[in-house]
Amino acid sequence: MQQRLKEKRQELLQGCQKELMGDDSQKQAILEELEQETARKKEAALLVYGKKYKEAMLSANRKALGDAIKKMEQFLLEQVLV
């Protein structure tokens, strides 16, 4: 995920750089601002993705634990009845 974001960001920046290149210092300032903004947004997106991934993993683990407990309880009940 991080690598894909990095590649896409670089691709977008290169496209903008081709359009903005020149002697005009204002164009360079705009490009630098764009680079900084995309870097901030990339980091924010990675934080959100990381949180969602952790939440999904915790939820899956809780479900697996619940299923395992139910199976163990069922097994123990069967052993008592035998």
Angle subtended by helix axes 25-81 and 2-20, to nearest 10: 170
Global pTM value = 0.57
pLDDT for position 22: 64
pLDDT tens, 54-74? 999 999 999 999 999 999 999
Give pLDDT tens digits for 36-47.
998 999 899 999
**Percent of residues, the chain, with pLDDT higher than 70:** 95
For residue 10, give both structure tokens. 């670089």
Query: Under DSSP, is residue 9 helix (H, G, I), strand (E, B) or coil?
Result: helix
The domain in which residue 15 lies consists of 2-81
How many folded domains does the chain comprise?
A: 1
